[in-house]
Structure 1
Amino acid sequence: MTMGAPELIAPSALPTADSVLQAQWVRERLGAASSSDAFARAQLRLALQEQRLRVAYQPILRLDDLQTMGQEALARLLTPQGRVVTAEAFIGTAAKLGIEPRIDAVITAQAMAAASQPVPFAAAPGKLFLNCSSAFLAEPSCMDKLAQQHRHWRQRQSGADTSQTPWVLEITERNLDTDPARLLANLEPLLDLGFELALDDFGSNHSAFPYLLALPIRYLKLDRSLVQTGLRTAKGEQVMRHLLQLALDLNLITIAEGVESQTALQWLRDLGVHWGQGFFWGQPTAVRSTL
């Protein structure tokens, strides 16, 4: 799989406080000559047609000893000029267009195919976290495709131990708009194959508790904004402590997003967070780390 990307644009470079500035940034990064959102939408559709979506990988580390436990596969878009745009810049537009499941399908297929190749990742015991919208997970044909890709992975692991399935489906809190019972019915065949579930962006602006109650969640990913607020304020830290106690009671592995400094790392260690990911260990890259 050709991943070659000339540069990666960090999510921290994006405007976050002003949605108007965010939309303007997206249009500029997509090479838009028009000020209308329609142009950016057309560019995204064209990127899908021209197969300009790529995977970038960010390591997930165990905080107590900094051992790499897995990777998260992140969506990236290549512009016609060869620039790389992060998912934060276009995923909202994709959701509005109803094509987020198509992006999920492309990225999961690329990442699972790459993991099937005879490279160190394929034989390593690490996890591969795959971002999935609820609309994608609610589509039976998409789940069938994941099962097919899993079988292909097993066939390619000649002589390797395939008892530890690497796939973790990350259900983002951003768009939890599907009946949890329906999701569970669709996911059960994959769960039987060893797939695991993570609840992503936990502590963002949307409530994920119905999904936490209804689905066999294994990993709880703490939203970057929640982590940063907890690091700055006493009230935020108290919320973090309560969430971590909840995760402990439910026997969940906690993963802090947005680890960006030694101070944050030590604070999260002291709180008892299990794993973490963030720019402290570098930008996401088009190459998987050796686990």
Structure 2
Amino acid sequence: MTYKNSKIFIVDDNPANTLMLHKLLESEGYLNVKVFNDPELALKAFFLHQPQLVLLDLVMPKIDGISFLTKIQTKITVADVSVIVLTASHVEEMKYKALTLGAQDYIEKPINIIETMQRVKNVLHSQLNKNKFKDLNENLNIELLKRNQDLSSISVTLDTIFETSSEFVFITNENGELTNCNKIASQRFNISTEGHWNLFDFFKIDLNSLTKNNQEMTVKDANKHRLIVSVNSTKVLIKGVISYIYIFKDITAQKEDELNLKYLAETHYITHLPNRLQLNSVLNKCLDNHLELSIIFVSFFDNNKIVEVYGHDKLEYLLLCIASKLRTLSDENNAGLLHWGGNDFVIAVEASIYSNLIEKLFSDFKEPMNILGVELYSMPTAGVFLNEARSKAMVYDDLVHKALLASYEGFRNNQKVTVYDEKLQHKIQYRALIEKELVEAIDNHDFKIAYQPKVELDSKKIVGVEALVRWNHPSLGLVSPSVFIPIAESAGLVKEIGRMVLNIVTDDIQFLKDKYPKLQHVAINVSAPQLDHSFIQILSEVSKSKDIDSSFIELEITETTFLDDLERVVPILNNIRALGYKLAIDDFGTGYSSLSYLHELPINTLKIDRSFILSMMDSDKGLKLVKSIISMSLSLDLNIVAEGIEDNATGMLLSELGVQLGQGFYYHKPEFLNEKVITKLQN
């Protein structure tokens, strides 16, 4: 049986992936390939028709790849089944778990055709060699373990072994002197019974080292080529003389395959740098050379945007270029280097020079890199953990994890370098606590809405209100939206909170109209992650189900939301306006405030950020800035709202400059609707 006749299962819930792999394997001459998009069905088929190889996706519904591996683990270890897992680059933990459960190899998505075919070939070829060796050993052991027989009783068996075996067979006396060997052994090692050869002297091995079966050792053939052999031996009586039969199995190719697989498992397939599986090895080596280590976690967050624009081909070449720069930097500083996965790298360096290395790191990446004819910038973000204890008993994963946390904290705060310390640890723990409590708060509907009035600056009449979400936690107290909203955004919870706020506010509209007879609109803040097509559907459903005039609701979106992703956001805003909702730019002036992009936005209102309102009373520069914003808004026929008005003089000046509406503590603080009034109105 050749390896191309092997039975192969492809298990992946994505039909496009299975179709591609099936066609790919067929084109390479693999004749027995079965495809399964349902992992449960694949599991049943596995035990009925045991394959030689399973290409297994790790992320699937019903039964994921790890569960699948767990269920077939006995078959992997006992039977002749190999598994290659299919995985995205960011699921490193699942990949490592799969390897510990018996998977022989992995293939990262997007799939590289040449690499995939080579890995399939390597695994099947190694398995075929293993099976041949296993069958031969079983046959030889059955025959050779029949002890205490004379030579005549086993002569036929020995002749058969000598004639048909592809292994090297030697027979010696008790002193190791060669009394017989098969033809293949004689030719390969240029050895015979005529030369009074001593097997142990010839191979320079100790007799005692061969007392156990399947012992591995290295020998050289007649041409001085190095061979790795597995040795099995048995003791027999031949014509009353104690003799030994030694079977040498050439496992050189198998060992090379194992080394190749080990290399593939422990290095990144694009950059060929050590990956996280070599963390202990790399850091132990660093500790041998340095008194104290600094762990630097280097992330290239810009690469994600590069993939969106240029695709994965450019990313692969970009990673090669990044790896080359980091390798040079590490070599110059006698530092250890790992490709942690995806766009992340780890550098371990002597603590006393870490700041110099980081300075050089950012200097090296200032200039663009020429990637297949395109000039691309990718700036790193570095998180640093300073390790002061020189102990190999430390958990290296913990050190890297702390540096990783520092890197991601730096990215959140737009900082190039962040050093991990106790303050950061407390901040991260607090964020984790808030995130956990947010989930419960959403389930328990623990959020309330306070409304801050907006007044006409001329008449002081309340014509609008802004809905402000409030969270009064039973033990943490009043948690500021500036704290929990960013955490909700990063945790993927802000859409749920936004939907809850929208429902509460739309339920309150009639009460608000009764309380403020001149009310013309209610403003609701919208976070950037909410702006997708599902939000359009939610707005459509709310206006229909609650029978409200959508033009009564104004959605306030911060300026930075537009600037981060203008091309994606503008079509969504156009759809929202088509539903009748009004749109306002909140905190205007905190971005680059360009007239050109304002022309593109379907907005009704511009809110001047409170920082500009406060500064205009103290400086001519601040006043000129506010005047220019007002002039820009009036030229575009936009309504203007000034935030943060704290005294009458500020309100009067803004009114004179042409601002229609004002909002601030001077006029009204945010307040909750009176529960008694609401109950009375409901009754």
Closer, same or farther: CA 117–261 of 1 in aligned 2, 3 Å: closer
Q: Is residue 216 of structure 1 aligned with residue 216 of structure 2? A: no
Q: CA deviation at 1:170?
A: 0.6
2:616 corresponds to? 230
Hey, what does 1:52 align to over in structure 2?
A: 446
Q: Which residue matches 1:115?
A: 509
What amino acid is aligned across from residue 542 of structure 2 in structure 1? Q
Q: Contact 1:254 / 1:273 at 8 angstroms: preserved in 2?
A: yes
Aligned to 2:492: 98
- Which residue identity does 2:639 align to in structure 1? I
Letter in 2 for 1:272: G
Pairwise CA distance, 1:232: 1.5
Relative to structure 1, the CA distance from residue 263 to residue 119 in structure 2 (aligned partners, 3 Å threshold; closer, same or farther) is: closer
Equivalent pairs: percent with the same residue? 28
* TM-score, structure 2 as length reference: 0.34
- In the alignment, structure 1 residue 239 sits paired with structure 2 residue 625: yes
**Which deviates more, 268-277 or 244-253?**
268-277
Conserved 8 A contact 1:63-1:275: yes
Q: Partners of 2:512 and 2:647 in 1: how far apart? A: 34
Residue number among 472, 493, 502 corresponding to 1:78 in the alignment: 472
- Residue type at the aligned position of 1:247: S
Deviation of residue 282 (structure 1)? 2.7
Distance 2:446 2:562 in 1: 27
Tell me if the contact between 2:462 and 2:519 (Cα under 8 Å) persists in the aligned partners: no
The structural deviation recorded for 1:146 is 1.2
2:655 paired with 1:269: yes
| Shift in Å, 1:76 | 0.8
The answer as to 2:534 corresponding to 1:141 is yes
SS in 1 for 2:659: coil
Look up the SS of the partner of 1:73 in the other structure. Answer: strand
- Indicate how the Cα distance of structure 1 residues 117 and 285 shifts in structure 2: closer, same or farther if over 3 A, else same: closer
Cα separation, partners in 2 of 1:175 and 1:187, compared to 1, 3 Å: closer
User: After the TM superposition, which of the residue ranges 226-235 and 119-128 deviates more from structure 2?
Assistant: 119-128
Change (3 A) 1:269 1:90: same
Give the corresponding residue for 2:573: 187
Gap change, CA 1:86 and 1:154, over 3 Å in 2: same
Aligned residue pairs: how many?
A: 250
Contact 1:134 1:178 in 2 (8 A): no
Report the Cα distance in structure 2 between the residues aligned to 1:193 and 1:78, rounded to whole angstroms: 34
**1:194 aligned counterpart, secondary structure:** coil
* CA offsets 1:261-285 (integer angstroms, 9 cap, x no match): 1122122122221101111123211
Judging by fraction of residues, say which structure has more strand. Answer: 2
Q: TM-score, normalised by structure 1?
A: 0.75
Q: Is the 8 A contact 1:181 1:214 kept in 2?
A: no
- Deviation string, structure 1 residues 107-150 (Cα, Å, up to 9, x no partner): 1221112225696269865101110112212x212221111111
One-letter identity of the residue aligned with 1:207: Y
Q: Report the Cα distance in structure 1 between the residues aligned to 2:666 and 2:470, rounded to whole angstroms.
A: 20
Alignment of 1:42 onto 2:436: yes
C-alpha separation in 2, matches of 1:208 and 1:102: 30
How far has the Cα of 1:225 moved from its partner?
Answer: 0.8
Following the alignment from structure 2 to structure 1, what is the Cα–Cα distance between the partners of residues 616 and 667?
Answer: 20
Alpha carbons of 1:224 and 1:140: their partners in 2 closer, same or farther (altered >3 Å)? same
Contact 2:462–2:518, Cα closer than 8 Å, also in 1: no
Q: Secondary structure at the match of 2:592?
A: coil
3-state DSSP of counterpart to 1:90: helix
Q: Deviations over 1:205-236 (max 9, x none)?
A: x2354652321111000001111111221100
Deviations 1:145-171 (A, max 9, x none): 11111123326xxxxxx5x82011111
Per the alignment, residue 64 of structure 1 pairs with 458
Map of 2:557 onto structure 1: 171
Question: What is residue 202 of structure 1 aligned with on the other side?
Answer: 588
5 Å-filtered alignment, 1:118-129, equals: 120=514, 126-129=520-523
* 2:467 match: secondary structure: strand
SS in 2 for 1:280: coil
Instruction: Say if 1:115 and 1:122, in contact at 8 Å, map to a contact too.
Output: no
**Range 227-236 or range 188-197, more displaced:** 188-197
Question: In the alignment, what sits opposite 1:281?
Answer: 667
Task: Give the match for residue 150 of structure 1.
Answer: 543
Q: What is the aligned-residue RMSD (CA, Å)?
A: 2.9
Higher relative contact order (CA 8 A, sep 6+): 1
Structure 2 distance, partners of 1:184, 1:177, is: 10
Rg: which structure is higher?
2
**Structure 1 position 61, deviation (Å):** 0.8
Quote how far apart the aligned CAs of 1:39 are: 2.0
Secondary structure at the counterpart of residue 154 of structure 1: coil
CA distance in 2, matches of 1:75, 1:282: 17
1:250 to 629, 636, 651: 636
Q: Please tell me whether the aligned partners of residues 100 and 133 of structure 1 are also in contact (alpha carbons under 8 angstroms).
A: yes
CA contact (8 A) 1:47 1:78 kept: no
Q: Deviations over 1:71-120 (max 9, x none)?
A: 11111112125944342232232233333333222212211122256962
Change (3 A) 1:181 1:125: farther
Task: State how far apart, in whole Å, the 1-side matches of 2:518 and 2:667 are.
Answer: 20
Instruction: Tell me the distance in 1 between the aligned counterparts of 2:577 and 2:521.
Output: 15
**CA distance in 2 between partners of 1:123 and 1:242 (Å):** 34
Counterpart secondary structure, 1:279: coil
CA distance in 2, matches of 1:118, 1:232: 36
